[in-house]
Amino acid sequence: MYGDENYVMIAKMDGEDSIKIHESYVRLREGQNKLMALNVKAPLFETAEIQRFFEGFDSSERLKVNISATGDFGVKFRGIIDGKEKNFSQNMDHIIILFEQYNCFTIDEYKDVKRVSKFMPRGYFS
């Protein structure tokens, strides 16, 4: 049996629900606009379990992802689409899980946020 370093772990922020996908089934692609795609080519029973895990999620559900035990990072779930590659044996499937990176600022980071708006609140100069 493999340890967690050979898996992609996806979990809800509360940590109650999670799923493990073996890294041999996954190819990671980073796109523009902070989008990330997990290409999963796996046996049907694996992809069915993955789709069941994401069933009922909002399109902005916040999740934690841990790739090969390197540490958690936050993403927003954006959806699952069918992969183009369908020339598999009958027991294989291809799905693409879409995520968007999100940054959750700490209290110290909020202090360093630069103002981008020129709008000044009423009474600002008094």
Question: What DSSP state is assigned to residue 111?
Answer: H
**Structural domains in the chain plus CATH codes:** 4-111 (2.40.10)
Q: For 28-77, write each residue's pLDDT tens digit.
A: 888 777 889 999 999 989 999 999 999 988 888 899 999 888 888 889 99
pLDDT at 53: 94
Q: How far is CA 109 from the centre of its chain?
A: 23
pLDDT at 63: 92
Q: For 93-117, write each residue's pLDDT tens digit.
A: 889 999 998 766 666 655 666 656 5
- Residue 98 sits at the vertex; the CA angle it makes with 94 and 100, to the nearest 5 degrees, is 160
Whether pTM > 0.75 for this model: the answer is: no
pLDDT at 1: 36
pLDDT band at 90 (very low <50, low <70, confident <90, very high): confident
d(CA 88, CA 59): 29
d(CA 38, CA 124): 47
Give the H or E element holding residue 6: none
pLDDT at 117: 57
